[in-house]
């Protein structure tokens, strides 16, 4: 799907995207999805990441703002993206 919002983590190696109604944590070099956050009922229009890279926040057309705890990057690099 298309991304309406993108925010980079402070480590420069990861970023989050708002794609449709899900937020995805991705690897910058490969684009691989490391984790998916599902919770919006409509399209996500904005994402942001905390200064330490521990949290992401998303806002969507469902008029909701959601806060997501980001996993430690080392813990998800070997995961299946779920």
| 20-76 tens-digit pLDDT | 999 999 999 999 999 999 999 999 999 999 999 999 999 999 999 999 999 875 565
The single-letter DSSP state of residue 45 is E
- The pTM of this model reads 0.84
The dihedral region occupied by 59, where left means phi > 0, alpha psi between -120 and 50, and beta the remainder, is: beta
pLDDT range class, residue 80, cuts 50, 70, 90: very low
């Amino acid at each position: 799907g298309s991304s309406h919002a993108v925010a980079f983590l402070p480590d420069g190696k990861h970023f989050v995207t708002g794609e449709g109604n899900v937020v995805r944590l991705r690897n910058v070099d490969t684009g691989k999805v490391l984790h998916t956050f599902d919770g919006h009922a409509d399209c996500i229009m904005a994402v942001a990441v905390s200064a330490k890279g521990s949290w992401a926040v998303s806002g969507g057309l469902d008029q909701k703002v959601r806060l997501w705890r980001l996993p430690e990057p080392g813990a998800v690099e070997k995961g299946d993206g779920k």
